Structure 1
Amino acid sequence: MTDAPATVLLVEDEPSIADVLTIALRYHRFEVLAAGSVREAAEAVRRGRPDVALLDVMLPDGDGRDIAHQLRLSHPEMAVVFLTARDAPAEIVGGLSLGDDYITKPFNVDEVVARLRAVLRRTRPAGRLAVRPPLRYGDLELDEATYTVRRAGRTVDLTPTEYALLRFLVRNAGAVVTKEQLLRHVWRYEHAAESTVVETYISYLRRKLDVHGPPLIMTRRGVGYGLASPGSP
């Protein structure tokens, strides 16, 4: 039994920032509902039930503080954290009067994750427990309780690093992740653009996975890696 994964409503209109935060939050086992505007944020809240909102203030169709005010009225149990370039003392004080924390840009991703967790420890109801379901993609299954991997019902013996790499790819299924993202999030390398470790471990994974089914890990030349669509030949 572990704490049920928290859901973050991420409202950020800058695609590069939204992408970095989404990948980092999912890597740290948050569920993410992403929105780029006030309208999209309202729709995301209707679709899901976030535990915390991470809000930009300056949005193309409104102000993140208006979202915070509406969330306080409609979902008083939801935590609110602002993430904005507005760093004047009056702005920070005003933001803290509406939310639970205030982070200024430019930011450190690890700090954002740590502060979200700190806010959730204060605001999330105790005792929300759940058994984490296995990660599934097509005929692939990753059991996060036992770190066991199966493909087509057969156990695949992976090293811890191979497992971490595969988990990151599965958590970002449907997207192409770059070599730099893999180095940063799997190996924690910040400046290793010339490293061949990604290519080496991708080769290891393919060798172990592809004996149980069609090729799973695809290379997008010049871009990065992704997973083949389930059922692809």
Structure 2
Amino acid sequence: MTALVIDDEVQIRRLLRLALETKGYAVREAESGLLGLQEAVFHKPEVILLDLGLPDMDGVEVLKRLREWSSIPVLILSVRDYEQAKLAAFDAGADDYVTKPFSTAELLARLAAIQRRHVGDESANLEVGPLSLDPARHEARLNGASLKLTPTEYAMLAQLVRHAGKVVTLKQLLRAVWGPQAEQQNHYLRVYANHLRKKLEGTGLEIQNEPGIGYRLITGDR
């Protein structure tokens, strides 16, 4: 398990590293919001501990950018102990909020709790029509039979199934499957949408292209 600590205070990062490593985490650090986002893209941690008072951007902005492409559990650490700050963080997608100074025992307990909730959400099977996806195993089944998919095909299909019937924008798909650095690479989506259409042919499931907007998965009886 990898934890990413985004905080500009060296002492806090050192304290968190010691506490997290005793629980078996591998720890990565970033002292600014931009570096934190880069770490999240390239190292894909299982959990993020995020300070709100960063030198280059507010932590809430970091969280908003992160939530454009990722559902990684995020625990906010901040000296801001007032309701408006907490509401802003939760509205932006925070999973929990701990104020500084904090007890490391409480912090670790809160961290374990949000990860358990996240695993429960992410591991629930996704189903639409004859198609079923098992996120825990990265397996797909069509009419009960195994459907062979590459990891990238699976990732794109999972996004479409999770939002079945709704348009998933080009940017949302690119960020979720390839990361923020790929958000201009629309040709990726054309190629993989065609791959998936061939594999779903004759099943009653259809991947519709909304030109210039995104893609939508629908059932044939709509």
TM-score range normalised by the length of the shorter chain? 0.5 to 0.7
* Highest RCO, 1 vs 2 (Cα 8 Å, sep ≥ 6): 1
For the Cα contact (< 8 Å) 2:47–2:72, is it kept in 1? yes
Alignment partner, residue 93 of structure 1:
87
- Offset of residue 40 of structure 1: 1.4
Are 1:11 and 2:28 counterparts?
Answer: no
- Offset of residue 18 of structure 1: 0.6
For the Cα contact (< 8 Å) 2:37–2:66, is it kept in 1? no
Are 1:29 and 2:21 counterparts?
Answer: no
| Alignment deviations for residues 209-232 of structure 1 (CA, whole Å, 9 cap, x no partner) | xxxxxxxxxxxxxxxxxxxxxxxx
Alignment partner, residue 58 of structure 2:
63
- Offset of residue 123 of structure 1: 0.6
SS at 2:65 equivalent? helix
More helix by share: 2
Gaps of 5+ in 2: 124-134, 138-222
Amino acid at match of 1:55: L
Percent identical: 33
- Offset of residue 35 of structure 1: 0.5
Alignment partner, residue 35 of structure 2:
40
| Alignment deviations for residues 126-173 of structure 1 (CA, whole Å, 9 cap, x no partner) | 4869xxxxxxxxxxxxxxxxxxxxxxxxxxxxxxxxxxxxxxxxxxxx
Q: Distance in 2 between matches of 1:63 and 1:17?
A: 17
| Alignment deviations for residues 178-207 of structure 1 (CA, whole Å, 9 cap, x no partner) | xxxxxxxxxxxxxxxxxxxxxxxxxxxxxx
Q: Distance in 2 between matches of 1:59 and 1:67?
A: 9
TM-score (norm 1): 0.50
Gaps of 5+ in 1: 1-5, 130-233
CA RMSD after TM alignment: 1.7
Q: Distance in 2 between matches of 1:18 and 1:85?
A: 15
| Alignment deviations for residues 5-58 of structure 1 (CA, whole Å, 9 cap, x no partner) | x32111011001110101110111112221110121122123201122110000
SS at 1:10 equivalent? strand
SS at 2:44 equivalent? coil
Q: Distance in 2 between matches of 1:96 and 1:85?
A: 16
TM-score (norm 2): 0.52
Amino acid at match of 1:71: L
Q: Distance in 2 between matches of 1:92 and 1:36?
A: 21
Seen in structure 2, the aligned counterparts of structure 1 residues 128 and 28 have a Cα distance that, compared at 3 Å, is farther
Runs of 4+ in 1 over 3 A off after TM superposition: 125-129
Equivalent runs, 1:1-233 vs 2, <5 Å: 6-75=1-70, 77-98=71-92, 99-124=94-119, 125-126=122-123
SS at 1:83 equivalent? strand
Q: Distance in 1 between matches of 2:57 and 2:104?
A: 25
Aligned length: 123
For the Cα contact (< 8 Å) 2:60–2:88, is it kept in 1? no
